[in-house]
Amino acid sequence: MTIKLLGVASSLRENSSSTAALTITLDLSKKYGAQTRLLNLKQTKLPLYDPNESQTSTELQKVEEDVEWADAIILATPDYHGSMSGVMKNFLDYFWSEFAGKTFGYICASHEKGLTVMDHMRTSVRQCYGWSLPYGISVSDGSDLKDGKIISQRLKSRLEMLARDLVVYGSLLRQQFVTDLDSDLPTFAAHYRK
């Protein structure tokens, strides 16, 4: 299968490090056969999620279409007080069953490795029955990236690993989930049969 990989950028900062690392990872994944899309929430602005309103807008339609399209997703965020950006949390609030059976990778721009940040995103994804790669990538501007370019060989190798792992593990998990949707076997995928 040709895996469809969506990158979600959630920093509103000009020259964002998390967005730069995400863009590089999407490019790297192409050589492993991925089709890619970048959803940059700085450009595609979502209103605050409101469960009382049935929300429709061109932006929301685009975001929904991108999430439906994706087989696997990379979430990229700055570290804000040890958690994800409000923009990322707001994006996640719009979705639930759409994440089931998809594999997620994580990138965080932080001066402190961003472990709690990525754990928070991983928890949200788990609540929606998405899979997560067992590691995340931490980026520190200045020492890893300068003017959107990688200056650390270690970061370059880790982004390459993320790109490769998401293509390989993301494809395997997605294919099995789609197969299970059509079977009558006892699996969590049964919940998502139409």
Binding site for ligand FMN (CB under 6 A): 11, 13, 16-19, 78-82, 109-112, 141
- Residue recorded with tokens 């501007």: 141
Closest separation in Å from C-beta 16 to ligand FMN:
4
- For ligand FMN, which is the closer residue by CB, 19 or 132? 19
- Residue recorded with tokens 């940040």: 117
Residue nearest to ligand FMN (CB): 78
- For ligand FMN, which is the closer residue by CB, 13 or 30? 13
Percent helix, strand, coil in the chain, to 5, is 45, 20, 35
- Residue recorded with tokens 């049969």: 193
* Phi, psi torsion values for 40, nearest 5 degrees: -100, 110
Closest separation in Å from C-beta 93 to ligand FMN:
19
Closest separation in Å from C-beta 117 to ligand FMN:
8
How far apart are the C-alpha atoms of 34 and 72, rounded to whole Å?
10
The tally of CA atoms less than 13 A away on the side-chain side of residue 32 is 22
- For ligand FMN, which is the closer residue by CB, 88 or 163? 88
| In contact, 36 and 167? CB cutoff 8 Å | no
Closest separation in Å from C-beta 12 to ligand FMN:
8
